[in-house]
Homo-oligomer: A and B are copies of this chain.
């Protein structure tokens, strides 16, 4: 506890991922929050923006230009997509950064432009950025200056599929990802479809038919692992729950072999747990935590299987992942501050 703490800035602290970063860092023994920014709410104390943080001794929200980055060891950028690249471009080039936006996830400028609809504003940084799926880029992250946090859906799908694609045990042309997503993934934005009255007590698909932007990440990462183009089918569904993603992934392959590959891939991981064969996970069991549960069950049709992965989109899918990466970048033990037990019920 005597070790001097690393000074942290959180840019965009008035959204859910920003608040989740504060939640995690507040009890982290080696990190200390030195600056919090929020453009529209600059000047406000965090207790007003997020009363659940009331008991913490936190700096007030300020504007980005008010932050003295010379005194900051690492900045988390929890800014909106597109804003992030413009801001990061202007930050000191030796500042360690974990970006939680979509801006640096895609390495290929053409892919970025395809999925996000306009050219990238900082293509050199795009190349420099390391993709932040910790368990698969651990060594690169350790030495990275800029880490790009993954999409929360993208993380969920990759935890289930990456080892299977790498091991060649599933048909790469028959991967269907049916996701069930909690509403906090849409952020604290004011949209009619995010109102309680519109969302509770029902469910529907969105971004259907291969239009969701996280497909850019799937294409990039799965193709890299397979060594040939891989294009999955992926449609998310909005579920009346605040946190959690459940990815039900329908694949062609031998269920037992799939289970064995996953167990093997994750046996040394602290946060990824492969359930006994035939047992499937629930988002209830990872809520508020950095854990991932993965289950496999065979279908009555031989050669087909269902792989289901569950994580908390705000934590392991976003801010928990970010802290895990920051730990690596700062030379701190990777799991530090992230071993909080899920909150149930």
Contacts and interface: CB of A to CB of B under 8 A. Distances in A.
A283 B198 CA distance: 11
Contacts of A19: 344
Given A205-B280, A284-B204, A180 B237 contact: yes
Which range contains the number of A residues in contact with the other chain? 35 or more
Contact of A52 (B52, B275, B341): B341
A197 B54 contact: no
A298 B209 contact: yes
B250 A283 contact: no
A291 B200 contact: no
Given A202-B282, A242-B200, A345-B184, A306 B27 contact: no
Interface stretch (A116-124, A135-143, A186-194): A186-194
Contacts of A149: none
A281 B55 CA distance: 13
A330 interface: no
Contacts of A55: 270-271, 273, 291
Contacts of A310: 204
Contact of A200 (B50, B180, B196): B196
Given A233-B301, A248-B178, A287-B201, A56 B195 contact: no
